[in-house]
Structure 1
Amino acid sequence: MTALAGLPGMGPRRLLAIHLLHEPAVAWHRIVAGEGDRLDGLAGRRGRVTDDVARAWRRAAAVVDVSALWAAHARAGVHVARLGEGGYPSALAHDLEPPAVVFRLGPLAMLEGPRVAVVGTRRCSRLGAELAQRLGRELSEAGVHVVSGLALGIDAAAHRGALGAGASAAGPIGVVASGLDVAYPARNRRLWDAVVEQGALLSESPLGQRPDAWRFPARNRIIAALAEAVVVVESGDRGGSMYTVDEALARDRAVLAVPGPVGPAVAEGTNRLLVEGATPVRDAVDVLCALGRPVPARTRSGHATGPPALDARGRAIVAALDHGPRTLDDLVDHTGLTLGAVALAVEVLVAEGWLARRGAHLERAAGPEVGRP
């Protein structure tokens, strides 16, 4: 199934049709053997295979080493689960359009708790990003897994907030439109790694697959399928987040939206949703109440008394910035930590409000003095 999923032009519908009609090994043999001039019957009526697609599949399959492909996923720690097998997310198993196969980094248990999608535009306002980050943190603290697409803007802000809730909170869930080794956008690489460290990352594409345009709407249907509710923080009247809303409504999921000012494009979509009956959202309390979930005292009060306490790693990094901004490499040199450990800790410290970014440098945000451990 992994090899089939990587063939050119193998969209979700074709792959699902093949999965429902054939064992993967049988389908792969038919493609490699080039049985007949056409492979129309391979994917049934719903996933009709044209001559051009059949030829492209044969050419691609001829150079694929299936055993090596499977071994590469195993080495990368990627869990591969077909629809109907153990390890397949139960939230997707009975979906309108379930992925035929799911590739996952992180524990399956991450996908079993309460889940809310927080989505919105890539070109968000500063206020929108701050609200998305706060929603992500407070929902995670309340035991709700934040689902998003790891795009720039609202998605990334929501996941940074979830990471800032700490390791004891509900971990974030990222759903991506490429192979799990192809970070897109590339500048979110560290955020991807942090999500894997504290949560889970999902795709219906095998390793090495690029984020082709058609994969994003397909990705958005998975976000909607996983979530109990979809919260739109900022969005124009069109775009990926509104597609996610359409997919959520098709699945009878709750849709919530943050009110915005009349006029700016970033609020056109959310304001329209509110006119059409979406539940308004001001903070995480509104989301939790809409879902009928308990509201923790910390969230109900609206504010924590300050940023969360630092662990030894966090203290070392923050103390290293006492005398001015530094790069990640500088922090590695000053703390003696590995680059991976520093990068992950920095994502959390930024989300918690301890650090701020200034280009390629990091600096102390306003806060108490921190002594060296």
Structure 2
Amino acid sequence: MVNQAIIRQSAEQRFAAELNLLTEHDQANVRPQGWLRSPRAVRQFILGDEKLGISRKFYGDDALVDRAIVTLLGKQGLMLVGEPGTAKSMLSELLAAAVSGDSGLTVQGTAGTTEDHLKYSWNYALLLAEGPSEKSLVASPVHQAMQQGKIVRFEEITRCPPEIQDVLVSLMSEKTMMIPELGQAGRVYAKAGFNIIATANLRDRGVHEMSSALKRRFNFETVRPIADAQFERELVLSQLQHELGDLSAQIQVADSVIDLLVTVFQELRQGATKDGAAIKTPDAVMSTAEAVNIAHAAALEGYYLGDQTLSSAAIAKQLIGVVLKDNADDAKRVRFYMDNVARERAKQDAVWKAFFEEGKRFWQ
């Protein structure tokens, strides 16, 4: 039974029924050592299979998913890079859940990440009472993944200082970890199935550049924004329904409003309208994830403060929270879009008219 008190379940919990179904139909396929499922089943889990009733969870470049799976079969780690909000973390979670059955072995990269987060630390009460032992050892997610032969996820790796990043070099090369305090018993050998999936935002490249030695340990794959508008509409709508949960049946969501939202994001992201007119691209992240956030906020506004309808006027109000984050000039760019693109469409379309009229109040 699903615990309604949990805000967000892991991928292996949310899709437990699908994973079990794939396992049942996976007996004839070859499974790599240490993997719970075959590469074919992992692909079906992420990209969907209509015959088995498996939902598609990643929209975009199917070939990228194939390359990611093949990378995890080899000795190199997988590095997913791209703009913020392009589902890098979601893809790494889905891969870990399908391959290892556990997406929770995660290191979150920050300026405060230390070597202990990558290797091990100690329960100091036990350490003082009994001395160094396996009982007093606190294993990191990387340590646990090596011991159990699982995938470990390293989020925002370029947020870590270079000396912390380079701790991974020997771990990924030798596939061993030394714990000097435990003497001869302090050598941890990685079991089959162990690998690392790291993510990095292209906008954070200048924070802490990875060393060439560490780069050689990874195969880089770029996760790009969704270019297909129809794919993005389907994803925004499905994610919105998921976020709303039980409320989704009580809120009216018109296709025309979702079309408007996706059109605005696609055009501002690409720097051109669908008619070919050039517009300036905001520095703000115009990702699918942000589009879902706007739709969710607008839907909640309609439910609690409006007429239980997701309106294009609410979309216009929520857009300001996405755009005005990094660069003050983004307001001018969106104002230009409102005045020159939305205004013209508002003359012929009621949904665009409501969007434009409400937008005028916020973008003057």
Common fold: TM-score over 0.5: no
Q: Which has the higher helix share?
A: 2
Q: Which has the higher contact order (CA 8 A, sep 6+)?
A: 2
TM-score (norm 2): 0.29
Structure with higher Rg: it is: 2
